[in-house]
Amino acid sequence: MNLLLDFLFLYQVVILWYFALLNLFYALFAFFGLGMVARYARELSELSLKDLLEREAYLPVSILVPTYNEEKTIAHSVRSFLSLHYPEFEVIVVADGPKDRTLEVLKEAFRLVEVEWVYRRALPTKPVRAVYRSLVYPNLIVVDKENGGKADALNAGLNLARYPLFCAVDADSLLDAQALLRASRLFLEDDRVLAVGGTIRPLNGAVVREGVVEALHLPRGFLEKMQIVEYARAFFMGRAGWSAMGALLIISGAFGLFRREEALRVGGYRTDTVGEDMELVVRLHRRAREEGREYRIVYTPDPICYTEVPADWATLRKQRNRWHRGLWEVLWNHRVMLFNPRYGRLGLLAMPYFVLFEALAPVVEVLGYVLFPVFYLLGLFNAEFAFLFFLLAVAYGVLLSQLAVGMETLLLKRYPRLRDRLALLLLAILEGLGYRQILAWERFLATFQVWRKRGVWGEMRRKGLEST
């Protein structure tokens, strides 16, 4: 009995230290994130995008769009990509063996004709069945290939890409018209930049016409609204903080800009993981560190990519399960970097953080809920301390969410209607009362499904842009 009591006491001490360290990191992320977004909002008015467009110095971009069963959104998305304000770019849509009418929709919408396309097969992929070109848009190419998964489709697109930069985007996404212009300027300003990540915003509730987001309004669904708060916190604090510290490990698969040559040097996207976006970024870090090169992988508050987020619990849980399994796969594949001084702040700070405070966080949280009644039955439950601890945790989480939402609505002015801003602030308070716990449980389950469901994506339900 004494041994059990000693263990439970030690567990409480560890949890207190865990909580203290985690919130120290959150404070750093908030500091760096607020500074970055404030600087960006201040400098944005001074940045003349027109001058950038008129410059002769620019890097052409290949936009890679892997698609599977996306018949509801693909035409709108492709029109969005084709309407970007950029001097020279191509759009390569890779139809990865879809089972619905995705390919037929593309043929009808863009008048595709089959062509003989000669290219170097730098990366191995599933067989390409046909290559099509649009009679309406000369810079639109559509690839029909056997199903091999998202990473395989991206590698097929990389093989066909002709330009020095490539932009990987999801087929259910829309890009801001100036997205490429804002992101690519970082490559021109600094030759050391290998990759740039932008901000992802939920598309649900937006007013969309001809593939262009004209206005942002809050969606009707509770889950969709909650994800706006989540995304704001993840990007304006997490990504901004890690970028400021030179240790950004994640660039979202929904939008990222990379140097094509660097991606080919490290072997393109890995096809044996569902976290292929994070894995490529970590591999770029690792190769550059091992070669002793100076480099940068950065996040910028813009450009903006709008993506459809899950509107029902089943799809949301599948998505978060896949994300968490992907995180574990990447950490395991690059475990040699963990606590390794050879990789600098990546090995000594970023990798340990993602293991302790991202991958293991749902385990710690769920165990806390499970042990709660145990402490009570053994008489180790201090009601006053537990209440204050819970109040502090919730209040701190609300503060971080409020800061993120404030950056989203006030500094960047994404949601102009006052009622939308007030609703987001209220949702930031409600997030920790049920919503967070359900997703923590799903991530807890994912932790023990990593090897059994390795590489398993699962079907994602889409409502489509017709409803926006």
Per residue in 393-406, pLDDT (tens digit) is: 777 777 777 777 66
The arithmetic mean of pLDDT across residues 451-461, rounded, is 67
pLDDT at 268 over 80: yes
Confidence of residue 106 (pLDDT cuts 50, 70, 90): very high
The label of the residue with tokens 């009418």 reads 101
Q: Is the residue at 351 inside a domain?
A: yes
Q: What is the DSSP letter of 309?
A: P
Q: What's the pLDDT score for residue 298?
A: 93
- Indicate whether 425 belongs to any domain: yes
Q: 413 pLDDT band (50/70/90 cuts)? A: low
pLDDT at 381: 64
- Whether the CB-CB separation of 29 and 238 falls below 8 Å is answered with yes
Please tell me the distance from the alpha carbon of residue 207 to that of residue 449, in angstroms, as a whole number.
38
For the cut 80, the answer to whether the pLDDT of residue 21 exceeds it is yes
- Name residues whose C-beta falls within 8 Å of residue 129's C-beta, 6 or more positions apart in sequence: 144, 145, 146
pLDDT tens by residue, 345-383? 999 999 999 999 999 999 988 887 787 777 767 666 666
Report whether pLDDT(163) > 90.
Answer: yes
Stated as kind and residue range, the H or E segment containing 178 is none
**Using 50, 70 and 90 to split pLDDT, how confident is the model at 87?**
confident
Q: Do the beta carbons of residue 147 and residue 117 sit within 8 Å?
A: no
pLDDT at residue 162 in the model? 94
Q: Is residue 106 domain-resident?
A: no
Using DSSP's 3-state secondary structure scheme, residue 387 falls into helix
Residue-wise pLDDT for 7-18, tens only, equals 666 777 777 788
Q: Please report whether residue 226 resides in a domain.
A: yes
DSSP character at residue 362: H
Q: Which residue segment(s) compose the domain that 452 sits in?
A: 1-46+172-467
Q: Which residue has the higher pLDDT, 85 or 278?
A: 278
Q: Which of 292-296, 334-338, 412-416 has the lowest mean pLDDT?
A: 412-416
The total domain count for the chain is 1
Residues 6+ apart with CB under 8 A from 326: 273, 274, 275, 276, 278, 279
Q: What is the mean pLDDT of residues 257-265?
A: 96
Determine contact, residues 194/259, Cβ cutoff 8 Å. yes
Look at 181 and 143; give whichever has higher pLDDT: 143
Over residues 153-164, mean pLDDT: 96
How deeply is 245 buried, as exposed, middle or buried, from its count of CB atoms within 10 A (0-12, 13-18, 19+)? Answer: middle
Res. 52 pLDDT band, cuts 50 70 90: low
Q: Per the structure block, which two tokens stand in for 72? A: 């509801």
Using DSSP's 3-state secondary structure scheme, residue 167 falls into strand
For the chain, what is the mean pLDDT? 84
Token readout for 58 is: 């620019």
Residue 456 clears pLDDT 70, i.e. is over it: no
CA dist 103 and 101 (Å) reads 6
- The answer to whether 129 and 148 are in contact (CB under 8 A) is no
Q: How many helices (H) and strands (E) does the chain have?
A: 17, 12
Question: Whole-angstrom Cα distance, residue 137 to residue 13?
Answer: 63
Residue with tokens 């062509």: 115
Query: What is the per-residue pLDDT for 137?
Result: 95
Contacts of 108-116 with CB under 8 Å at 24 or more apart are 109/75, 109/78, 109/79, 110/75, 110/78, 110/134, 110/135, 110/136, 110/137, 110/140, 110/142, 111/135, 111/136, 112/142
Q: Per the domain annotation, does 292 fall within a domain?
A: yes
**AA letter at 403:** L
In this predicted structure, the answer to whether residue 54 has a pLDDT above a threshold of 60 is no
pTM of the model: 0.89
Higher pLDDT: 221 or 54? It is 221
Cβ atoms < 10 Å from Cβ of 236: 27
Q: 458 falls in which pLDDT band (50, 70, 90)?
A: low
Question: Residue 161 domain-assigned?
Answer: no
Would you say residue 218 lies in a domain? yes
Residue 297 lies in a domain: yes
Q: Is the pLDDT of residue 53 over 70?
A: no
pLDDT at residue 415, rounded to an integer: 67
**Would you say the C-alpha torsion 371, 375, 381, 383 has a positive or negative sign?**
positive
